[in-house]
Amino acid sequence: MRSEPGDDMVRVLIIDDEAPIRLLCRVNLEAEGMEVIDAGDGPTGLEKARSEEPDVILLDVMMPGLDGWQVAEALLDDQRTRSIPIIFLTARAEVRDRARGLDLGGIDYVTKPFNPVELAPLVRELIHRVGQGERDDVRREKIAELRDLIEPS
pLDDT in tens, 92-102: 777 788 888 88
Nearest to 102 by CA among 92, 116, 112: 92
The CATH number of 11-150, from 3.90.1750.10, 3.40.50.1950, 3.40.50.2300, 3.40.50.1860, is 3.40.50.2300
pLDDT in tens, 7-38: 578 999 999 999 999 999 999 999 999 999 99
pTM: 0.87
What is the pLDDT, as a whole number, of residue 84? 94
DSSP string, 37-73: EEESSHHHHHHHHHHH--SEEEE-S--SSS-HHHHHH
pLDDT in tens, 69-86: 999 999 999 999 999 999
For 80, the 3-state DSSP assignment is coil
